[in-house]
Structure 1
């Protein structure tokens, strides 16, 4: 059970050792006994790969510099100690492709992870008004949102597997020809 996702409010009790675990269940004090399951990554056959041996640290939520709030994500910060003061000395957990492990805010907005959404509302990272605006923009996208496949700017790195079909969705203001 985590007390917060806000880096400045972390305590030693929020420190987790995910080393070699295939999944982890997260919950929060006000999540009414509910939790949600997180995994590190899936291989090509959809088999879960365990978290790496160095995966010890803190889950946190944070915006990404130069990108809109909607690009913010739940991430895992690997730290040298269990003390929250080591947060800045740590590094974000990376996937095997070199991109950060994350669960995007868009997943919370689309109610894939309602416990995450509710916690972000409680901590003030989200507002109900903002949540509704994004839900309207994403209406009809289904509930399947994959963290590594969303771009919020053309300068972002992203993996591409040309061996599978791709579906591109653009969310933003419509372009008007003049």
Structure 2
């Protein structure tokens, strides 16, 4: 993978010829150094020159108006990562940082991370339709790592859902027990649930109750979806949400004690206000969704999304278990 660099204003831009993304076919010429570069252009080997990536970057935030260059020591191989025991939709492009250009050093390397600690990646959903990712599509198709049918299915799914699809920073879930972050003070928690050939956006509003935002409790926690352990759900396909870890929590000064039921408790289940208001004996009940219970039409989207977790149990068993 030969590189060249030239200046555009104050940004250093590099050009890369992408030969392969198949780990088994990597050669020393696929090794590239990205340290300190803000953007780099890319062209697929033996592909038309029009197939270029114009804005492949390390970290860019429009909200913060910042463009962070690749950190020092970013050298290694772009490659196609296949998640073990997971749906094909979880496959993605990553950058493996290695100590040398010898492909044998790949197994001793590590995947590049973003400033927030999450893996730097390009998801299959972005690669499918993003114009800048045309070289990736060309190489993946040529190497037989992805089929055109899969790309077409992703585009059709996105078109049917208003082009709503997961991005590079989205949280992707395909089995029970996978943690994902949530903010206590916001009314919306969103993740994506992936099956063997389907994708669902999973949104929970007011998970900790409206009073949390009114009282201005603040914090972050990790949640996970799991089969319900509650006695009343025995023998049923019911999903609950557990608070795996509290990363940060600031309780509002002077908050009423009767609002404490809305606050997350590490290791416990997530609770929501009981239907009918707080005048009931039990003002807070565990958040839950009965996959096979069709009484509440408002939870139909939840049932469809969470169903894939049960379907995936047989198709993609957790290697840890």
| Band of TM-score, shorter chain | 0.7 to 0.9
- Tell me if 1:147 matches 2:165: no
Matched residue count: 176
- Tell me if 1:40 matches 2:58: yes
Residue 137 (structure 2) aligns with: 117
- Tell me if 1:16 matches 2:37: no
Structure 2 CA distance for aligned equivalents of residues 118 and 167 of structure 1: 35
1:66–1:54 distance in 2 versus 1, CA, 3 Å: same
Q: Which has the larger radius of gyration?
A: 2
Kindly indicate whether structure 1 or structure 2 has the higher relative contact order, using CA contacts under 8 Å at least 6 residues apart.
1
Q: Secondary structure at the match of 1:147?
A: coil
1:46–1:68 distance in 2 versus 1, CA, 3 Å: farther
Residue 69 (structure 1) aligns with: 88
Q: Where has structure 1 moved over 4 Å in runs of 4 or more?
A: 154-170, 175-178
Deviations 1:102-130 (A, max 9, x none): 00011122344222122211110111222
Q: Secondary structure at the match of 1:52?
A: coil
TM-superposed CA distance for 1:162, in Å, is 7.1
TM-score of the two chains, using structure 2 as the length reference: 0.49
**Structure 2 residues without counterparts, runs of 5 or longer:** 1-16, 194-198, 201-290, 295-321
Conserved? CA contact 2:182–2:189, under 8 Å: no
**Structure 1 residues without counterparts, runs of 5 or longer:** none
Q: Secondary structure at the match of 1:24?
A: strand
- Tell me if 1:4 matches 2:20: yes
TM-superposed CA distance for 1:132, in Å, is 1.8
Residue 60 (structure 1) aligns with: 79
* Higher share of residues assigned strand: 2
**What do you get for the CA RMSD once the two structures are aligned?**
2.6
